[in-house]
């Protein structure tokens, strides 16, 4: 069984730039959620994708957007980067409809905005 | 909206001693509750979960947690800690929007330090 993978591991961008982060779901999972974890804080829910559509969204502005592909992999796009976007971005996969709602996390992408 | 409070930012425990990490949640109905552990620079690993039924749930690595509805609590326990248990621990509750459950709402975490 393949776990959740994310790429890249680390990324440095300049304020105002755009970034794309990638996530591959655990095999057999059909739902992907993205979280932002600032240093010393708990993860904060950005959004979730199911059947290639946004299924729920946290308190993040529209410059945070995403995609889910037919193979259930996903992208997180952030436009007009701000210094406060520096964080660990975590992807989690789950299987909708199983009734247990367990989410399994990848190792994360560390984004630094300068 | 659902919320999670972890009152202890840091906890120091001697190796071999027992451990209890506190978690309080806010949600009107029966919550879906989780405990995750995060080692430095790593993603989160699921320790255990509660959905319904028996209020004492067993997890991996010798951890257990007890759901107490009257206290809105879901405290994590371990009878004897090992140095490898040093990590950040997060309590989480499933969040519900108009379409049903989607993401998780996390507490701010408890940093566990193990003394030799």
Q: Kindly give the pairing relationship between strand A19-24 and strand A5-7.
A: antiparallel
CB of A69 within 8 A of CB of A20?
A: no
What pLDDT sits at residue A1?
61
Contact A33 B103 (CB under 8 A): yes
A18 DSSP assignment? -
What pLDDT sits at residue A16?
98
Largest CA distance in chain A: 42
Report mean pLDDT in 10-residue bins for chain B, 116 residues.
93 97 88 93 91 92 96 97 96 80 91 96
Q: Which residues of A touch B (CB under 8 A)?
A: 4, 33, 35, 41-48, 55-58, 90, 92, 99-108, 110
Comparing B27 with A77, the larger pLDDT belongs to A77
> Could you give the CA distance from residue B54 to residue A95 in angstroms, rounded to a whole number?
23
What pLDDT sits at residue B53?
85
Residues A73-93, mean pLDDT to the nearest whole number = 97
Q: Is the peptide bond before B38 cis (omega within 30 degrees of 0)?
A: no
Contact A44 B109 (CB under 8 A): no
């Amino acid at each position: 069984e393949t776990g959740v993978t994310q790429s890249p591991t680390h990324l440095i961008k300049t304020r105002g730039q755009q970034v794309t982060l990638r996530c591959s779901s655990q095999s057999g999972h059909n739902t992907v959620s993205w979280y932002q974890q600032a240093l010393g804080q708990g993860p904060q829910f950005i959004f979730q994708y199911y059947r290639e559509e946004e299924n729920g969204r946290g308190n993040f502005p529209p410059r945070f957007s995403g995609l889910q592909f037919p193979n259930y992999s996903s992208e997180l796009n952030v436009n007009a980067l701000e210094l406060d976007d520096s964080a660990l971005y975590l992807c989690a996969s789950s299987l909708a409809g199983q009734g247990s709602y367990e989410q399994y996390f990848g190792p994360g992408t560390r984004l630094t905005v300068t | 909206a659902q919320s999670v409070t972890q009152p202890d930012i840091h906890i120091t425990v001697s190796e071999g001693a027992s451990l209890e990490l506190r978690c309080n949640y806010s949600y009107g109905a029966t919550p879906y509750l989780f405990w995750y552990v995060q080692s430095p620079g790593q993603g989160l690993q699921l320790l255990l979960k509660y959905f319904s039924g028996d209020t004492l749930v067993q997890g991996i690595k010798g951890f257990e947690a007890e759901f107490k509805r009257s206290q809105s609590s879901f405290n994590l326990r371990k009878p004897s800690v090992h140095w490898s248990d040093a990590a950040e621990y997060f309590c989480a509750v499933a969040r519900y929007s108009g379409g049903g459950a989607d993401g998780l709402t996390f507490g701010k975490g408890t940093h566990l330090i193990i003394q030799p």
